[in-house]
Amino acid sequence: MLIKNDSLGPSGLGYLEIENNVPLPGQTRFFEADTYTCTHCHRVVVMNPERKRERYKCMGCNHHICDDCAAEKAAGAPCKTMDQKFDEMRTLDAKLQSMGIV
């Protein structure tokens, strides 16, 4: 899932629903939250409805990314989506096979 922002707000969200048949005191029986998949690492992020700080939006790929990838980005890492990483691995694999290394 990707969070795509447009004038209507975010779209491309997933949804998580958990039913706890035997809740402990103070727990609710149902938990429901939106989810999205980070484009940089393909981690599924459960969106905490009580979160106060903003989610990080990568300006390179124009999508929301997880907190870990946001920290890497803040440290100077370039925007690289998981699809780009897969393409690089396939290209390297093909190159190594053509050289007879793999």
DSSP per residue, 41-85: T--EEE--TT--SPPPEETTTTEE--HHHHHHHHTTPPP--HHHH
What is the average pLDDT score of the chain? 85
**How high is the pLDDT of residue 8?**
46
**How high is the pLDDT of residue 14?**
86
**83-87: average pLDDT:** 94
End-to-end CA distance of the chain: 34
**Number of separate domains in the chain:** 1
Rg (CA), the chain: 19
Position 20 pLDDT exceeds 90: no
**How high is the pLDDT of residue 9?**
46
Position 1 pLDDT exceeds 50: no
**48-71: average pLDDT:** 90
By the 8 A CB rule, do 20 and 28 touch? yes
Interior CA angle at 52 toward 64 and 81, to 5°? 15
Position 69 pLDDT exceeds 70: yes
Give Cα 69 distance to the centre of its chain.
Answer: 9
Range of the structural domain that residue 23 is part of: 4-98
